[in-house]
Structure 1
Amino acid sequence: MESDLTETSSTDGSDEYSSNYIQQNRNSTNTRLFSFLALLHAYVPDSYLPMQVCQQILGPPDPINGGPPFEERMEPFTVFISTDTPGQVCMCDQDEARKQLEILHNSGINRSTTAKKLMDFLCGGEPQPHVVQMVKDLLLKRKTGKKGKEKFSRLISDILKRENFFHAVSVLKTASTRFRIAIYPQTIARLYYIERRDYEMAAAWAERAINIDPYNSYVADTLGQVYKNRLKNAWQIVDVWEYANKSLRAFEAVEEKAMKEEDSQNVDPDVAVRTSVSFNNRGHFGFIQVANLVFVKLRESPFREKLRRDVEDKFEFFELYLTYSMPDMKTLEPHYFREDIAACYQRYTGRAAASSTSFPGLLDSLNHGLFTLRRQAEVQRTTPELEGIVDDLKSMYQVYRDDVVTAMRYILSNVILSNRKHNAPQLARLTQLQSVIRRFLWQQPSQPPQPEFHLLALMLFWPEEQLQEVQQEADDEEEGRAAEDDESSDEDTDEDQETEALLPLNLQQHVRSMKNAFEGTYAKYLRGRYLLPLFFLGKGHGLSKWIHKSILDAVVEGEVDSELTEQNDRKKKEMIDDMWCEGRVWQVQGIRELLLPVQVESQQTAAMQEVSVRVGGQEIQARLEVGPSQRSELFYLYFTIQGPVVINVSTPHDELQLNDCAVQPN
């Protein structure tokens, strides 16, 4: 007979009956099988044991050879067990499985003993792949909560609570013996340094894990974490020196191994290369944390000065890493991530991270104070500050005219200021900025331009919509500003250059070059992450047609605030995330008033991830973010650091159709 758990099983005496039976039959084969099933279902709910394996655990006589049926042999546990799926046996209910584990524990059959016996039985010889995965889920899978991932799997955590530390280590040692997989000794190392602060044993197990998988950057990170945590508890100068150096060497090894890892999608299966879904940033961040500890513990030390250059390099890495991407569309880095990086940078340079005027620093400047990115604690840059940045970078550009990075920062500062104050007197004319970037298009660069260069070229030379009266108004406004401008550089007074700046640019060539430049610079570091929108194409003119993502975030936040009946930051964050992920932001009136629809010439299937977009008399290829909708199609365009992206949205009103797109000059 096949049986499922009934709603009355917890109160109809089954628990008491099973408890009495277990106490009297602790070593029986059906009690052993029941303990295996309870353990698996309590911690790996989708797991099961094949009926053939269950019969092997029960031993002879098998029903095939005239023995009693399986259900009869499993009494009194049959009420808790399901055999509904042919050939598979499992517990019926996870809560009941957990309850039965407690009954087993109170009867002297604890979790650690059950886990080791389960591995002994299932993993003799060459275990099946599904068994290997099931044991990994049982011992290693960590639950993600509000504060991130738990330190250990639920089973290991429960063994630590209900039994003791050494029982938890014993289970993992059994797994480490059965499976030559680095993650088991790696987890033992974490147990030793987190639970016991036994850094010597932790380091030994971390080294053992590295020996098993010497090219894995994530495995190598554990040794750095061991030494970093030892450094936290070191106050004698000699100890600080020793463990600071050991930590830094370990994290440097993590960086080196991470650099050699490749995206599995881009690797020839016949070539032996270590792959990973995303770039491991733990070596870089581990360095930042160690540098913070060194600064506090070693005052006036030459060691601190030695670290300064590396701190600046790591800050530059994280500045672009966090400005251009995030883990996924809803997930941000832990709150301490930016805090530790900013604190380290200020300690070693004396400069505030928020005052950076690098290219990613300028892009990020409008995000300060945004709730959406958990940046409320940061002071938002004022309009006078942004105007001052434009003036400073203009002066710098006049001195370093041949430095493309300085030129790009100067151009971007104008775009950023135009998002805050579109008629600011400090803003350069569009033709002036076009002339600046044209100079570098004419030159033969010593190295290929970065994607940021092509981003600016595309933004500056993007055709205006064919609304002559608006364009004339813009020209008059720009001429008025020029008359007040006492700047006398050659670029701004050379009429020939301004005339050439108006010549059309091959936009598709720059789209292609931007993508290639991304692949050659940032693709390795940002793979597997969500590339953040930087600028959306808007209804303005000149620089004002490029809308910074923060402007949209502010509109969405205001929309959510109007719907909330009481202040609840967690609920607010969820509502904002849902609006973006579900595409409801595109139905917000304030968003539709800002963005300019684009005309998609050739819309390909959802499987094909690119579409052709009509831009003036040209066509460019853009990545398609959302699959085509059934009707009322509308397309908006934005840029990531990889290139243009077209998002296909459905509007709530029939009047918003593709024919609302701006008429582009042919």
Structure 2
Amino acid sequence: MHVSFVLTQEEFTCETLTETIKTDITENKDKEYERKIESTANELHRKYVGQKDPVLLLLNHEEDKPQRYFIKSLLSKLEHTDQTDHPAFIIINAVSKSTVRGPGDVKLKMELLPEEKERFAQKMQEIKKKYKKMSQKFHAFNIMQGGFQKEDAEKLITEEMVNHIEKDTKSSSTRLLSFLALINSYVPGLHLLKLFCEDFIKEEEWSTDEGKPSLEIIMKPFKDLRLIFSEGEQKANCIRLAHPLIADACLKMLTEHKLTRYDIAHDFLNSMVKGKESNYEKICKSMLVTRPKGLIEKEKFSRLILDINRENKPNQCIYLLRIASKLFATDTFYPQALARLYYIKIQGENPKNSHIRDTLGQVHKNHLSRIWTQRKWRNEPCTDIKTCLDIAKDAIDAFQAEEKAAKDELANPNTTFNNRALFGFLQVCKDIFKQNDRDFISGLREDVEQKYDFFEWYLAYSKLSFKEEEPDYFLFWRTASFLKIRHQCVLSGESYETTEKLQARLQKLWATEAQGRSPEFYLLVLLLFWTKEAQKAKANPPNLENCVQYLIESYKSKYGKYLCGRCLVPLFFFGKEGGLQRLVHALKPHNKGLRLVHSKLLQTDLELLTEGDESVEVECLQRIKGKVKNHRVFAVRDGQQIPVTPHNPSSVCKPDQVSFYLGFTIRGPVAPGGHVILFFVFIDCFV
């Protein structure tokens, strides 16, 4: 009341109707109701005509029946108002608090309440009295009164119907029944237009010369199950089955006679939909694409596709969606469902294949990325944070499952590690960090650090192949890693400690525990104790033969399975200068990222060396003397024979004295093999 009073002061014309419409006349009570209701409606309508402001009507009745009649009468008058540009007429129908359910969960069941059963029983008596034997054919009403029992619907399938279907499953009547059963079973409430059904019949060939029979004659065996009704201005223009449970019963009967859901759907698409796609958009989309709600989230496919798939017929689902995708070529939902089906099918065939699992994570990641990009283009802040976090969580879960599969694949010694899960994880986290959601981010911090550390050594120690560059999105890791090495180890002139102090510390650690350390420890020992000066300056220096052996073992344990199939890159070359300047690093900045070339190494020299040109000389590098023995290359150092990995093992064929440029990868010393004068090749391939 107070609200209507306030609105009256504003820009509304408000009316309130609270008095109950009553009559004391016992005879012709219904007519008296109608007269009073009509009078009240006319009075309100007269006030409405000519109004410029919107009209607000508040109804507050205790009795429901007269109120419903009044609203119906008033709406009828409003619809036929001749006034142009008429204002809005708003009706607020107040409901008594006693009729509103209290808070709490309400379970919906396919059964009637006691009061509903009583009302149905009363109505049934009226129907029997009025329609007598015909009341038995009120199938939908009878099914509802019986409590929606599927047995009641199945009893309506007569022996005559079964015999008709057994006689000819390809007859027009059987096919039309199958179409209606499929549609009304999976999309209750939808119908076929009678005109389209008649067109379907006309396309059939008939042996009689009396003309083609009507739809009613064709469907006569099933006339008790179908309804022909009106929709809109046209009369008797729609056809469907009387109740969804009847559709279920018919579909069950058809499948028992070897007419599967796939057969029916396939026939429907090819015989009725093809060429008339615009008339069947809603039906086909509801049957083939629309996904029902599950307990937690939507199912992956429509109910029809799910049921066919449960029969272990995924190929049939694929074929149906392929046909539908061609028929409705502009609707992207069909190929989307088809792609999802392909993905699940191939994932089922290869459940442990990490590359297949990568698809799902990439889809979620790209979905999230599109949201950020669109917001950026529009210069709008992201308001739906929860949706973005949900997508990110789905992507992270998918990438973590892929990562586990990728690590499981490493049980095969010849497998190349699939790193896309780790990188995809980091890409998603990079986008999420922009939202500054502390709770979400805090749970990811440890995983982010681990994966970042992985790529730091993964890209520092190896590359995809000698002739191919890493993808562009890897460049920032390689740049960050090698600029750190370049700054700390080389460009500072001298390191944080003198060479002698570093050697002393390493020698002490070596004496304490030589085995079981990281590859980086052994690599540093090799770098600092390789020269003759270092060997002579220290008493009991580390044995370099043993050091290389320990390095290889440590490498295999820590990095080998992850770097299998990749090419190891040299981190340093052995040069001519003294101190730490003898270690010539292999990288320098480039406008397209870091390249395998030192500032003292010309790019052309590097290319010639890697191509195996034996005529090139590199001024800043020092040759190492060695020999070939038992198809292996050794560097000779004060009586020690230190194994060196040749770039091309097939060229190491006969014992000989050799010299070569020396490089150091994370696996150990590397050198080419084969001739008296040999040149270092930078990549130790496919270890």
Fold shared by both chains (TM-score > 0.5): no
Query: TM-score if structure 2 supplies the norm length?
Result: 0.43
TM-score (norm 1): 0.45
Structure of higher CA gyration radius: 2
Bigger relative contact order, structure 1 or 2 (CA pairs below 8 A, ≥6 apart): 1
